[in-house]
A = this chain, B = another copy of it.
Amino acid sequence: MSAASWIAVDWGLSNLRAWVIGADGDILDKRVSGQGVNTLARDAFEAALLDLIGDALPETGRMTILVCGNAGAREGWAEAPYRAVPSAPPGVAQATRALTLDPRLDIRILPGLKQMKPPDVMRGEETQIAGVFAARPNFDGVICLPGTHTKWAQVSAREVVSFRTFMTGEIFALLEKRSVLRHVVGDGWDDAAFAEAVGEGMSRPAPLASNLFSLRAEALLAGLAPDAARARLSGLLIGMELAGARAYWLGQPVLIVGEVGIAQAYRTALAAQGAMVETIDAEAVTLGGLVAARAGMKDAAP
């Protein structure tokens, strides 16, 4: 096994992920912890990182730790101010350094992107977009990154031109777990119910709040199945989002970057609208984006 050369880190709100990279660019190790930004005070980041990758550091000398995600937020480890779009995904030259007690750590935190009108921000997704550019250098179109806060980014010539964030995933989770609908929503899925609800949400978004309550009423009055209720809840929300994001995906090639389940749901919904849609592995483009962001360093490996 070759010696570690640098460490790539994706530090999101819920999780901390690290890849230990060898001198010839091979992945020596991959590690995950639950010490996301949401769980950490500012002075706890260094210890959380050392917990996860301390044993991969050299005995002497410094090692570059290149970080994307919410670690660069104002309430994170060290603020990496947003870059305004249109912009290429930021590289290491735009990164913020964090001070550390351990002299072996050379921390570089990548900025996110901001848009003033309409107001919007992203942190972490810009690095996934850099990974898409690395994997698909000629891709122009729209990148959709579904998740808690789904992003739609218009990209051209390896720049992010504009983007919009939809809180669809967070709203789904709140309704599923904390609203009156928790009594009627199961753990499973129903493809037909999802597809029908996407169509309903797209064509008639305004009655959303009543269509949601109807899930509860139909369960009480007509025994709506819990799996169908969950798929319809998701479909109504994603359908409304597709109607709201229509300017992004209509007539554009769309590349979906996300976890398998949610990426598949978006792909199904978009394909039903005749959109030109592909998916690409989220973890691969995250790491690819960090590798691409580091390529600007003077001592970067080939």
Give residues in A with beta carbon < 8 Å to B: 74, 82, 114-116, 118-121, 149, 164-168, 170-171, 174-175, 178-180, 204-214, 216-218, 220-222, 237, 240-241, 243-246
Flag if B210 contacts A166 (CB, 8 Å): yes
4 smallest CB-CB distances across A and B, nearest first, come from A207-B244, A206-B243, A206-B244, A119-B217
Q: Specify the chain B residue showing the minimal Cβ separation from A74.
A: B220
Contacts of A213 in B (CB 8 A): 120, 149, 165-167
Flag if B165 contacts A210 (CB, 8 Å): yes
A119 and B210 CA atoms in complex are apart in Å by 10
16 of the cross-chain contacts (CB-CB < 8 Å) are A114-B217, A114-B220, A118-B210, A119-B214, A119-B222, A121-B216, A165-B217, A166-B207, A167-B213, A174-B179, A205-B205, A205-B206, A206-B244, A209-B244, A210-B244, A210-B245
Flag if B167 contacts A244 (CB, 8 Å): no
A82 and B222 CA atoms in complex are apart in Å by 13
Q: Specify the chain B residue showing the minimal Cβ separation from A242.
A: B206
Contacts of A217 in B (CB 8 A): 114-115, 118-121, 165
Contacts of A175 in B (CB 8 A): 171, 174
Contacts of A180 in B (CB 8 A): 149, 167, 170
Contacts of A218 in B (CB 8 A): 119
Chain A binding site: helix, strand, loop or mixed by DSSP? helix
Q: Specify the chain B residue showing the minimal Cβ separation from A240.
A: B206
Q: Specify the chain B residue showing the minimal Cβ separation from A172.
A: B209
A222 and B82 CA atoms in complex are apart in Å by 13
A16 and B180 CA atoms in complex are apart in Å by 19
**Contact status of A166 and B120, CB under 8 A, knowing A174-B178, A175-B174, A179-B174:** no
**Contact status of A209 and B237, CB under 8 A, knowing A121-B217, A180-B170:** yes
Contacts of A149 in B (CB 8 A): 180, 213
Q: Specify the chain B residue showing the minimal Cβ separation from A216.
A: B121
Q: Nearest-CB distance from A210 to chain B (Å)?
A: 5
**Contact status of A121 and B221, CB under 8 A, knowing A209-B241, A240-B209, A244-B207:** yes
Other A-B contacts than A119-B221, A121-B220, 11 sampled, CB-CB below 8 A, are A115-B217, A118-B210, A120-B217, A121-B216, A164-B210, A166-B207, A167-B210, A170-B180, A171-B209, A205-B205, A205-B208
Contacts of A244 in B (CB 8 A): 204, 206-210
A149 and B220 CA atoms in complex are apart in Å by 16
Q: Nearest-CB distance from A241 to chain B (Å)?
A: 6
